[in-house]
Structure 1
Amino acid sequence: MTTTQDSKSPSELIDGRIKDLGDWRGEMLGRLRTLIHQADPDVVETWKWRGVPVWEDAGMICTGETYKAVVKLTFAKGAALPDPARLFNSSLEGNTRRAIDFQKGEEVDEEAFKALVRAAVALNKSKSRK
């Protein structure tokens, strides 16, 4: 039986994206995905906009896009999140979103990243209760 993209779960599609990249971008996306799951064991993976991995819990947490020179994680409500480690380094001009561009060989501040994910989930849950 042939599996079509439509019959695969979002998690399987994300697995496929990581594998298909086959380079540092796949490794980075996989590592960030693991950190998201560590920060929020209840996270739900979705696949939107013709191939963008999305992580959600009571609303969108972030998207994971891969480009030639960066892996970009865009936090849907990033402008409202505390970022004491100053991880956000992209999409800083908007009123809502903020992004982190990870480049080849870059170290990830895992604890600060997980704190950002947890803050995004807390913000989503605080908004969904109202």
Structure 2
Amino acid sequence: MSYEKDPRVDDYIDKLPDWQREVCHRVRDIAHAADPEVVETIKRTVQPYFVLDGNVCALLAAKDHVNVFLYDGGIVPDPDGIVTAGHQNKTGRTIAYYEGEPINAPALTRYLQRIIANNRAGGWRKIKAAQGL
């Protein structure tokens, strides 16, 4: 897959241990595959973010896992059970990937596509307000 890479995202990923680099590259590819208009950038000084009409997701490598922050306003369904934390969070959720754990690419792609669709519809805040949530 071909997409425009931000060299600052490469710098972030390149400093990680091998297995975390693999996770980050895979999630990066999935984010871009979810919609070809996704753009990557750096926010909060060092964190890779993937954006399209608003935040879609972000990466944060921790000591023993990689967090993928999902900016969904807590409204995107998770029928595949890929979300690992933040189920009651009002602004976003998290998927933590540990060394050797598989990434359910089809489920993550669908999840990110739903966030993107919500962003294009005005964002989760507008959607929640329209739903009276």
> What TM-score, normalized to structure 1?
0.86
Q: CA deviation at 1:115?
A: 0.3
Paired position in structure 2 for 1:35: 30
Paired position in structure 1 for 2:75: 80
Segments ≥4 residues shifted beyond 6 Å:
none
Paired position in structure 1 for 2:84: 89
Confirm whether residue 44 of structure 1 aligns to residue 39 of structure 2.
yes
Q: Which ranges in structure 1 are unaligned for 5 or more consecutive residues?
A: 1-8
Q: Distance in 1 between matches of 2:28 and 2:73?
A: 17
Q: What does residue range 1-130 of structure 1 map to in structure 2 within 5 Å?
A: 11-127=6-122
Paired position in structure 2 for 1:6: none
Quick check: 2:74–2:88 contact (8 Å CA) kept in 1? no
Q: Which amino acid aligns with 2:9?
A: I
CA RMSD of aligned residues (A): 1.7
Q: Distance in 2 between matches of 1:103 and 1:42?
A: 28
Q: CA offsets, 1:9-64, max 9 Å, x none?
A: 97101111111114211110011101111111100111011200000001100111
Q: Distance in 1 between matches of 2:73 and 2:104?
A: 17
Q: Distance in 1 between matches of 2:108 and 2:67?
A: 13
Q: Which moved more, 1:69-78 or 1:24-33?
A: 69-78
Q: Which amino acid aligns with 1:39?
A: A
Percent of aligned pairs with the same amino acid: 29
Quick check: 1:10–1:47 contact (8 Å CA) kept in 2? no
Q: Distance in 1 between matches of 2:84 and 2:7?
A: 29
Change (3 A) 1:10 1:41: closer
Paired position in structure 2 for 1:4: none
Q: Distance in 1 between matches of 2:73 and 2:22?
A: 24
Q: CA deviation at 1:83?
A: 1.1
Quick check: 1:78–1:99 contact (8 Å CA) kept in 2? no
Q: Distance in 1 between matches of 2:5 and 2:49?
A: 9
Q: Distance in 2 between matches of 1:88 and 1:78?
A: 13
Aligned residues: 121
Q: Which moved more, 1:15-24 or 1:66-75?
A: 15-24
